[in-house]
Amino acid sequence: MLNIIELRRDLHQHPELGFTEYRTASIVVQTLKSLGYDVIYGQDAIDGDSRRGLPSDKVLEESYQRALEHGADPDIVGNMRGGYTAVVGTLTGKRSGPTLAFRFDMDALPIVESKDQDHFPQQHTFVSHFPGNMHACAHDGHTTIGLGVAEALSQQEFAGTIKLIFQPAEEGVRGAYAMVEKGILDDVDYLFCAHLGCEVPTGQLHGGTTGYLATTKLAAHFQGVASHAGATPEKGRNALLGAATALLNIHSIPRYSTGDTRINVGVLEGGTAANIIPEHARMVIETRSESEEVNSELEQRVRTIIEHSAGMHGLEYDVEVVGGAIPITCDEDMIQIAREEAVGIEGVHTIPEESAYSTGSEDASYMLRRVQENGGKATYMIIGGSNPAPHHHPKFDIEEAALPIGIEWFRRIAMRILR
Amino acid sequence: MLNIIELRRDLHQHPELGFTEYRTASIVVQTLKSLGYDVIYGQDAIDGDSRRGLPSDKVLEESYQRALEHGADPDIVGNMRGGYTAVVGTLTGKRSGPTLAFRFDMDALPIVESKDQDHFPQQHTFVSHFPGNMHACAHDGHTTIGLGVAEALSQQEFAGTIKLIFQPAEEGVRGAYAMVEKGILDDVDYLFCAHLGCEVPTGQLHGGTTGYLATTKLAAHFQGVASHAGATPEKGRNALLGAATALLNIHSIPRYSTGDTRINVGVLEGGTAANIIPEHARMVIETRSESEEVNSELEQRVRTIIEHSAGMHGLEYDVEVVGGAIPITCDEDMIQIAREEAVGIEGVHTIPEESAYSTGSEDASYMLRRVQENGGKATYMIIGGSNPAPHHHPKFDIEEAALPIGIEWFRRIAMRILR
Amino acid sequence: MLNIIELRRDLHQHPELGFTEYRTASIVVQTLKSLGYDVIYGQDAIDGDSRRGLPSDKVLEESYQRALEHGADPDIVGNMRGGYTAVVGTLTGKRSGPTLAFRFDMDALPIVESKDQDHFPQQHTFVSHFPGNMHACAHDGHTTIGLGVAEALSQQEFAGTIKLIFQPAEEGVRGAYAMVEKGILDDVDYLFCAHLGCEVPTGQLHGGTTGYLATTKLAAHFQGVASHAGATPEKGRNALLGAATALLNIHSIPRYSTGDTRINVGVLEGGTAANIIPEHARMVIETRSESEEVNSELEQRVRTIIEHSAGMHGLEYDVEVVGGAIPITCDEDMIQIAREEAVGIEGVHTIPEESAYSTGSEDASYMLRRVQENGGKATYMIIGGSNPAPHHHPKFDIEEAALPIGIEWFRRIAMRILR
Amino acid sequence: MLNIIELRRDLHQHPELGFTEYRTASIVVQTLKSLGYDVIYGQDAIDGDSRRGLPSDKVLEESYQRALEHGADPDIVGNMRGGYTAVVGTLTGKRSGPTLAFRFDMDALPIVESKDQDHFPQQHTFVSHFPGNMHACAHDGHTTIGLGVAEALSQQEFAGTIKLIFQPAEEGVRGAYAMVEKGILDDVDYLFCAHLGCEVPTGQLHGGTTGYLATTKLAAHFQGVASHAGATPEKGRNALLGAATALLNIHSIPRYSTGDTRINVGVLEGGTAANIIPEHARMVIETRSESEEVNSELEQRVRTIIEHSAGMHGLEYDVEVVGGAIPITCDEDMIQIAREEAVGIEGVHTIPEESAYSTGSEDASYMLRRVQENGGKATYMIIGGSNPAPHHHPKFDIEEAALPIGIEWFRRIAMRILR
């Protein structure tokens, strides 16, 4: 039987960034197989071309080697090499029935974990072993719950099919879309997703959420022509002039009377030396809106500005989507089922009527959308975890007491849907 | 016989801006006809579509009416209405020979003339009668010399043809190109042009000049969509954002290692009220270079920047050439002839070997170029006039003693070329 | 007795822009005096230095002369010369009681009125006699109602004091602040204001409004140094470079997570000619927010950007407030009184419970605020007028049937408050 | 006796960037000492605070360790640790006389050396052993010549003092200024510097140069405040908005009518992630001019723009000089001496009368200036080396036959000056 706490702490010590979750995914595959699940992973579980914001080959390979050094099964991760770190486990009931999917995300963040003594993982000696990476958004807990649920359901009788989806690269909203494009959600009738923490105390559970924004993350490249800035400045094509012009104009995109919007140029880098006309520049941009249509319009405005900022200075350019999410609409009856099944779980004391509210973005939104487009139902739940510091903070943590609550909640929901 | 001083003072009192020289041109036509010249003018003497920086219909019409009120001959100026204020007078010698042209420009400047007592025209009560306009660049003198030469040559015998070209709109370098495009210079074998003043003392004559820069003057219009800035900012297309982006990027066009360049956005105007997204903006730009090729490249860069500044914000735009000039290269043998014929003119004391130097621009350059392209020869001379204040200054003036010197110089050159 | 329709049509024919309402105010003074009111006006009724967006001396004087030509009483308007076009009439009841104020604005807009036959004022031959100006926001109606109320109340017995405030320059939110600064509102216990039209049908009355935004209108001037763009560009200080930089950066002020904001640079003008480094530029900017604090922060950001855009290019600058307003909060009990007194007025058929909603701005807000700060109560009401075209449109109009309704409503409110 | 070719090839294999020339300087110190020179180095030879563009501590330390691994003498380089890689060797003649200095620079470039077979160092197996670094500007040859001259002069009798200056960090014009500030040049009466290559064939020697531009290299840092771009954009202070504004305005600094200028923003980097308001940005800028005064004015303009671009967005900033040079004026009599002493050197076939011309920049300029300010004389010579590819190119090289020519030239000059 799985030791939930030990598993969570092992994952916490080995935080892997998006599309490099080789070791994590290896453990997921091993565990699911040992529990009798049919397991697909690697290129069978994710559409390669649809992955957004894929790391460089160098980073992918170094992470792969690191995973091997830290105990990943070579036979398994060999099939994931190149950033194919998605896993899907399926268990079929004895009786026929609908297909129910749960989704868990596995990736960590590029954050240096705190080593202060008031940080629980430091006190209990399970802080990150991978310098510069940290599970600061509870995805170690998500993966643990996912495997805990897998174990719990492997011992149950039910009618229909259970599909456990372990997704890479939620940070930067990059991985869900590629699993959807692979068709993983196409046969799903019911989908439940959840997040741990979210400033909600342990023992409080929300059956749904509202507020997640549509967002697009873009990377733009400007390619000009270098030239000696003293000898022949007129022969250069200045990529930084194009990029700086784009930056100012992107920030000048108008406010919308129809609702809140956001725009940010988060990164700009270009040029090589004081005396060289800069030939290359790179920008990372994000747009957000409550409305998917307005977000598309913002993205289009950004693309138009980049196109013409480049054209103005004779530059080549390209724009690449490196992340994205859409708004989430939870089905009322699924929220209701989730709330009902929360009642009576040991340690649960609060089940608010209202949904949780977030102004973040979440790429599970693509999965909910696909299920709903096919006539299915879905919701996105919150599992309180009394996080002592905000998400993405060097001292982020969740109370481990939240883990068995989460496992039991998912288990009950499965038994309700597939009874 | 013409009273040169009186004529000059009459012209000085009635300064007319480019393409509105109705009264001036009317006097020129009358005088040339009375001296026996064949005269063409109006649409016969200038190509309408090639005129640059034409004033508005309203300005053209008001100036036309003013000219009539101030004695212009209705039969003559009726044929110039709409800004066709060019005149060409031709006199054919008894014997056959080459065609020799002289060019004189007629327009004034939008400058308020000084009424200080140390200003010669004020002392002698012949300051401008047209408020806001002034002959502050000696074109009143040029026209006077042109008519003086016309008279002098009408009494001479010579071999060939004399062509006296009276050009509108030299200020802003706008009118010469359209006379060239009409073909006025196509049969010319020799062309002599001259400027009075130029910080050269009366009695000093230069046979040629160097340094005149290639230049282009552009007007750009940006047309967007107005919208209420509070209620629906996202529905606007902001013309001022496009124009401000263009302005900054035009000023960022690189320096050239091949020689001096200049760029200026001299005017920017747009928008109507604080609470309206600006739907229109207008810019006036100039480029300059010693090199015609580089000036063309600068113009092309400006056009590219405007195109993309507009495109970036979804604006319509257009760019119009409102002025232009090219460099001047004087033929060495013409310089030599001019210098030789200067010797012995009463009042002339200095005939330097070197050409005069100017960093301005002059659209007679198109006329010299056309003659030279056809195998002819040309030069651009300077007639010293001891101007007490710089050109375009409210106290600009030239010594009237320079006028008979100029007339005699042109007369001698004609007799030399057409002997 | 006043002929209300005739009065409104006379005012409509003589539309005067903000701070030039000499003729209008002259009529107001005459009428109030003839009805027995104590009247103050001119510098007694408005603080000169606090007036925002005052027209030029030339405009003020020309309007003054025009008013005289159109029948303004010289003795009265002589005291208003220079833009002091505010009037306050006071009537004291026989018994003591609170002070109740009503406010009416008098100014017109720089809009060319339609002469189409479907435009009611054209059909009835009372379109604007002052070319380019138009009463396109119903202030002719407001002034008419104000004088109608003055007449009605002059025949009533009441306890306390009635103060009728006739304000100049509401358009551009410029005049109310200066009457407040003069202390006109300092003794007021109750204040009722109203607007005609607002897309509300005749016969519908709203007791209050919500939504009016805080706003600031700024004019910025940049003063540099002119220089010849060809000869000595390095000696110039380019005002347009500063202004264009300010424009782009003002539009880049971030969105606020705390609520909606707006920013617009509505006008930018600078420079004189293609070949002169621009020495002067002018910008008009507005900020808006639901929150007065955020609007102040936006104004401060704009000022900081202008300061440094100027400093960057060695320019002098100044920033002037040319308009402003704050949010409006209506007192619930005043809304209730207004709604109750609307019941039974002839022609009134709808008295909604909810307040009207507007996203505009209104400088009566300063008056409401001052009264409320002093412990008084206030509201801002809407009088439906079935306007056939939007406010500020060349075909804007209101049904004249709304005028007696408005007069009666104010009269009843007065009798209720001062009973 | 030194094997010149072997020495040069050893240095070529161990190219060290500016202020990290530990191994090179160690060899210089050892050789000079073995030849009987008085040697000062480390903090005795350079003013620490005046060093410009010093690498990070990390880079300094890694380079230091690398030098030790590649044979640097620990006793010597221990005194250079932290980037004090300057060396001065002094030899005093038997008789008294003036002080004559020669200067040689030692640093390499961050360029990947070519491994093509047509590249001479590849053919002869002495390409760079330090990946990413390369002697692509002949400073390996300069150092070799310096040590060759040291040897040659150690065997001569002369009157006065010989001072051999081995300078770090000429690339980026960073090191000379700090040796001048240390006072190394204060007692020098005559200074000769030289460069190998410069597109001049082996066997051709120039006694002087003209054209070196004044230049300043600046690094600017903008420090703002990070904030979540979705949740609280208004709490950020956006460093990239400041930097982009600075970039556009720096490029908009006007052309100068007084002569050629250059401006470039060569590098801009800032921000961390799509969803974070960028809190930091860094820019590298250079200015150039024939005139030191104009260059100072350009630098001042850049500083003003940076100050106000930062102030506009509430950013902290600093600007640091990371490199600089001034124009070079060679003394005519020194040029003459150099030309005379070139006559008859084996392999020398061409000694042009005119000086060489360069549009680059060279920080030996500070050394020449200091000597000349003290009443001394100086020149900057060119030693042809038939470089097959331009300076700073991956295939740059010089013919080794130029090395003995250079050594002999310096030797003869020393004997002439100190005879």
Nearest to D22 by CA among D73, D85, D88: D85
Given C324, C357, C373, the domain boundary residue is C324
Two structure tokens written together for D7: 């020495």
Whether B263 sits inside 8 A of D251 (CB atoms) is no
Nearest-neighbour CA in chain D from B357: distance (Å): 15
Whether B270 sits inside 8 A of C267 (CB atoms) is yes
Per-residue pLDDT reduced to its tens digit, D355-380: 998 878 899 999 999 999 999 999 99
User: Are B46 and B160 in the same domain?
Assistant: yes
Half-sphere exposure (CA, 13 Å, Cβ side) for B165?
A: 34
What is the structure's pLDDT at B358? 81
What is the structure's pLDDT at C387? 94
Nearest to C315 by CA among C246, C216, C231, C219: C246
CB of B113 closer than 8 Å to CB of B86: no
Given A324, A354, A374, the domain boundary residue is A324
CB of B162 closer than 8 Å to CB of B91: yes
A 10 A CB-CB count for D199 gives 13
CA distances from B271 to B306, C238, D177 (A): 18, 20, 53
Whether residue B111 is predicted with pLDDT greater than 80 in this model: the reply is: yes
Nearest-neighbour CA in chain A from C34: distance (Å): 49
Mean pLDDT of all residues in C10-20: 98
CB of C281 closer than 8 Å to CB of C256: no
Q: Strand B356-357 and strand B209-210: pairing? A: parallel
Q: State the best of A237, A245, A256, A302 to mutate against chain B, taking most chain B CBs within 10 Å.
A: A245
SS3 of B149-198: HHHHHCCCCCEEEEEEEEECCCCCCCCHHHHHHHCCCCCCCEEEEEEECC
CA distances from B65 to A262, B20, B73 (A): 58, 10, 11
User: Are B295 and B347 in the same domain?
Assistant: no
CA distances from C272 to A226, A246, B284, C229 (A): 37, 29, 9, 12
User: Are D120 and D239 in the same domain?
Assistant: no
Nearest-neighbour CA in chain B from D254: distance (Å): 8
Alpha-carbon distance of C247 to C284, in angstroms, equals: 10
In terms of Cβ atoms closer than 10 Å to its own Cβ (0-12, 13-18, 19+), residue A97 is middle
CB of B384 closer than 8 Å to CB of B203: yes
Whether D273 sits inside 8 A of A251 (CB atoms) is no
Nearest to C371 by CA among C156, C196, C163: C163
Nearest-neighbour CA in chain C from A88: distance (Å): 38
Whether A233 sits inside 8 A of D264 (CB atoms) is yes
Which of chain C's residues have a Cβ under 8 Å away from the Cβ of A260? 255, 260
Q: What percent of chain C stands above pLDDT 90?
A: 94
Whether residue B359 is predicted with pLDDT greater than 80 in this model: the reply is: no
Nearest CA in chain A to B260: A234
CB of B378 closer than 8 Å to CB of B371: yes
Nearest CA in chain C to B263: C229
What is the structure's pLDDT at A231? 85
Whether A260 sits inside 8 A of C255 (CB atoms) is yes
Confidence label for D159 from pLDDT (cuts 50, 70 and 90): very high
User: Are C139 and C278 in the same domain?
Assistant: no
* Nearest-10 Cα torsion for C163, C166, C168, C173: 60
CB of D217 closer than 8 Å to CB of D283: no
User: Are C137 and C275 in the same domain?
Assistant: no
Which of chain D's residues have a Cβ under 8 Å away from the Cβ of C254? 233-234, 236, 238, 277
Alpha-carbon distance of C172 to C51, in angstroms, equals: 11
b/e map C298-322, b = 16+ CB within 10 Å: bbebbbbbbbbbbbbbebebebeeb
Given C290, C324, C358, the domain boundary residue is C324
Alpha-carbon distance of D69 to B15, in angstroms, equals: 85
How many CB pairs lie under 8 A apart between chains C and D? 68
What is the structure's pLDDT at B214? 95
Ligand-binding site membership of A181 (annotated): no
- Neighbouring chains of D at 3+ CB pairs within 8 Å? A, B, C
CB of C287 closer than 8 Å to CB of C295: yes
Whether A260 sits inside 8 A of C262 (CB atoms) is no
In CATH, what number is assigned to the domain containing residue B76? Answer: 3.40.630.10
Per-residue pLDDT reduced to its tens digit, C322-357: 999 999 999 999 999 999 999 999 999 999 999 998
Q: How far apart are the first and last CA of chain A?
A: 24
Nearest-neighbour CA in chain B from A239: distance (Å): 13
User: Are B275 and B380 in the same domain?
Assistant: no
Which of chain A's residues have a Cβ under 8 Å away from the Cβ of C249? 248
In terms of Cβ atoms closer than 10 Å to its own Cβ (0-12, 13-18, 19+), residue C292 is middle
What is the structure's pLDDT at C358? 81
User: Are A55 and A183 in the same domain?
Assistant: yes
Ligand-binding site membership of C193 (annotated): no
Whether D260 sits inside 8 A of B255 (CB atoms) is yes
User: Are C248 and C357 in the same domain?
Assistant: no
User: Are A143 and A247 in the same domain?
Assistant: no
Say which residue the tokens 């009539």 belong to. B68
Cβ contacts of B122 within 8 Å, gap of 6 or more? B113, B114, B115, B116
Domain that holds residue C334: 4-211+328-417
Per-residue pLDDT reduced to its tens digit, D245-256: 999 999 999 999
DSSP letters along A85-110, please? --EEEEEE-SEEEEEEEEEEE---BS
User: Are A293 and A408 in the same domain?
Assistant: no
Per-residue pLDDT reduced to its tens digit, D106-144: 999 998 999 999 999 999 999 999 999 999 999 999 999
What is the structure's pLDDT at B181? 98
What is the structure's pLDDT at A382? 97
Tell me what the pLDDT averaged over chain B comes to.
96
Interface of chain D against chain A, CB under 8 Å? Answer: 172, 213, 215, 217, 229-231, 233, 238, 240-241, 243-245, 247-248, 251, 262, 264-278, 281, 284-286, 288, 322-323, 359-361
Cβ contacts of C375 within 8 Å, gap of 6 or more? none
User: Are C305 and C282 in the same domain?
Assistant: yes
| H or E segment and range at residue B8 | helix B4-13
User: Are D286 and D355 in the same domain?
Assistant: no
In CATH, what number is assigned to the domain containing residue D259? Answer: 3.30.70.360
- CA angle, D71 then D72 then D76, to 5°: 150
Range of weakest confidence among A98-102, B358-362, C193-197: B358-362
Per-residue pLDDT reduced to its tens digit, B127-145: 999 999 999 999 999 999 9
pTM of the model: 0.90
- Neighbouring chains of C at 3+ CB pairs within 8 Å? A, B, D
Two structure tokens written together for C65: 């002369």
Interface of chain D against chain B, CB under 8 Å? Answer: 248-249, 251-252, 254-255, 257, 260-263, 359
Whether A256 sits inside 8 A of B238 (CB atoms) is no
Nearest CA in chain B to A304: B312
- Ranges of chain A with pLDDT below 50: none
Report helix, strand or coil for D177.
helix
Ligand-binding site membership of A171 (annotated): yes
What is the structure's pLDDT at B1? 87
β-partners of residue C339 are none
Cβ contacts of B354 within 8 Å, gap of 6 or more? B206
Half-sphere exposure (CA, 13 Å, Cβ side) for A259?
A: 12
Helical packing angle, D4-13 and D139-154, nearest 10°: 150
Whether C284 sits inside 8 A of B262 (CB atoms) is no
Which of chain B's residues have a Cβ under 8 Å away from the Cβ of C280? none
**Number of domains making up chain C:** 2
Q: Which of C233, C258, C311 sits opposite D254 (nearest CB)?
A: C233
Whether C234 sits inside 8 A of D254 (CB atoms) is yes
What is the structure's pLDDT at C231? 85
Whether residue C211 is predicted with pLDDT greater than 90 in this model: the reply is: no
What are the φ and ψ backbone dihedral angles of D230, each rounded to 5 degrees? Answer: -95, -45
Which residue type, as a one-letter code, is found at position D176?
A: A
ipTM reported for the complex, 2 dp:
0.87
Which residue type, as a one-letter code, is found at position C354?
A: E
β-partners of residue D196 are D383
DSSP letters along C299-324, please? HHHHHHHHHHHHHHTT-EEEEEEEEE
Q: State the best of B245, B251, B289, B358 to mutate against chain D, taking most chain D CBs within 10 Å.
A: B251
Per-residue pLDDT reduced to its tens digit, C367-397: 999 999 999 999 999 999 999 998 999 999 9
Q: Which of D248, D255, D359 sits opposite B261 (nearest CB)?
A: D255
What is the structure's pLDDT at A69? 97
Mean pLDDT of all residues in B176-205: 97
